[in-house]
Amino acid sequence: MIPDLSWALGRSKTSFYHGNDSIKLKTTSGDSVSLSDLAKETTPPCHLNPLLFNGTLQTVWTTVNSSDVPVVYKRKLFESDSRLYPGTFAVDFVHRIPSPDADGSLPPRTTYYSDQEFGEIGSDDSKPLLVTLHGLSGGSHEIYLRHVLAPLTKDLGWEACVVNARGCAMSKITTSIMYNARATWDVRQVVNWLREKFPNRPLFGIGFSLGANILTNYLGEEGENCQLKAAVVCSNPWNLEVASWGLRNSWWGREVYQRFMGNNMKKLFERHADMLIKNPDIDAERIRSITYLYEFDRALQCPAWGYPTESAYYRDASSCDALLAIRIPLLAINAEDDPISVKEAIPYVEFEQNPYTVLCATSLGGHLSWFQSNGDRWFAKAAAAFLDKVAKDIDLSAIQPKQSQNGSVGASDAGKRPVYEPMRRKWHIPKEHTA
C-alpha cells in the first residue's frame, strides 16, 4: 500500500458534513441549488504551505508571519440598550479613506467618527454588509479577520463592521461588566441598529474562534427571526468544556496555549481593573495569581456571571446545541488538526440534523491559520467566496423556515411528552403540557 503523503505536499483533505435534506436556495436566475452544493462549489482546494505540515506549526506561524493586510476603520462607541448589561462597547466600521491624523489611543489605521460624520452614516443602498466578531481578547486589528474583510470591501463592493468585545481593541470598559463566551447582547443591538440605518442592505455575519461561538449562540437565539441572511463561523471551539480539557490534558496545550490565552486575559483585566473590581465578587489578587485560561475563567467569569464552576460556564456558553436552532444558511470551517478548537469538540452529527448548516472540515490548517505558500490564508478565500455567492446569486427572500426533527426553538409537540430545545439546553416538559 502506498502511504498517503498528501500532508507533506500541503494537500489538505476537505470533508463536508450536512444532512440529506440540505435546504434548497433559489437563485436570482430562477434555478435552485442546495446549501450543501453551494458550499462545495464555492470552497477552493485546500493547498497549504507544505513546511507548515501540522496544526501546531500552522497556529504558531500566526505569531511569526509579518505580512500585513491593511484595513482602515472609523470607530463609534455605543451605549448598551440592555438593562441587565449596561456599559459601552466599540464598533469599528471599515472606511475606505485613511485619516491623515493618527490616534494613538486606538489601534493602527483607526480613528473616531466625528459627530457630523456619524450623523450622516445611514444609507438606502443595497450593498451587502458584514457584521464581524473577533476571537478571545482580540479586536478589529486582528489580521485573521482583515484577511476576509479586505477583499470583500476593496474588491467585491461590501461594507463591513467589527463589533469589539467590551474592553478589547483598546476600548474602555465603563461598568463592571466585561464579556463572556455567550455574550450576544451587543451584537444583537448592533444588528438591530444596522437594520434601521441601512434598511435595504442584506446583513451577513462572520465569527472567528470565540467570536464564532458567540455568533453561533446569537443565531440560535434568534432562530427563524434572525435578521442576518447567512453567516460563516471559523475555528469555532463549539464545546468549550471538551476544548478546555483537550488543552489541559497535554503539556503543549496547557503550557503554551492555555498559558498564552490566560496571560492575554490577565492583561485585559489589568487594563480595566479599576472598573471590573467594582463588582464585589471579583478578587483582583486571585486573578493576578492565575497562570492558565481555565483559572482565569474560574476566578473572574464564574463570580462575574454567577456560575459555580468553570465547567458549568463552559457547558452553558458552548454553541454546539445552538447549532440546532439556526434557521439561516450557515457555513462552518474547522481544521481537524486545530490544537485549540479541538476535533473532539466539533458537533459533526448536529450538522447532519440541521438542513440550514454545513460543516467544511479540513485535515490540516491549525487555528485561524490555513497558511498557503504565498502567505495567504485559505479559510479567508473560502469564507469570502461563500458569502459573496450567497449575497449576489441567491434570492434570500425566498428562503422559508423549514421544520426539522431536532426539537428546535418554537417546535410544537403534539403529545404531552418532554421535548428538547437547543437554546434552553435542557430536555423538559413544556408548561402547556403540565396543566
In sequence order, what are the residues at sequence separation of 6 or more whose Cβ sits closer than 8 angstroms to the Cβ of residue 298?
Answer: 290, 309, 310
Round to whole Å and give the CA distance between 49 and 11: 9
Q: How far apart are CA 233 and CA 218, in angstroms?
A: 12
Contact 162, 130 (CB under 8 A): no
- How far, CA to CA in Å, does 211 sit from each of 165, 169, 206, 344? 9, 14, 8, 19
Give residue 328's identity as a one-letter amino acid code: I
Residue 253 buriedness (CB in 10 A; 0-12 / 13-18 / 19+): buried
Q: CA nearest 126: which of 202, 182, 63?
A: 202
SS3 (DSSP) at 278: coil
Q: Which three cell numbers stand for residue 279?
A: 463588582
**Is 209 one of the annotated active-site residues of the chain?**
yes
- In angstroms, how far apart are the furthest CA atoms of the chain? 69
Known active-site residue 155: no
Catalytic residue among 12, 137, 171, 209: 209
Answer yes or no: 338 catalytic: yes
301 DSSP 8-state letter: I
Cβ atoms of 95 and 74 within 8 Å: the answer is: yes
Helix, strand, coil proportions of the chain in percent (round to 5)? Answer: 40, 15, 45
Of the listed 92, 297, 338, 388, which one is catalytic?
Answer: 338
Cα angle: 106, vertex 108, 114; to 5 degrees: 55
Considering the candidates 36, 367, 388, 404, report the single residue annotated as catalytic: 367
H-type alpha helices, 156-197: 185-197
How far apart (Å, rounded) are the C-alpha atoms in residues 260 and 253?
A: 10
228-234 β-sheet, strand order: 14-17, 357-362, 330-335, 228-234, 203-208, 129-133, 159-163, 88-94, 73-79, 110-112
* Active site positions, annotated: 209, 338, 367
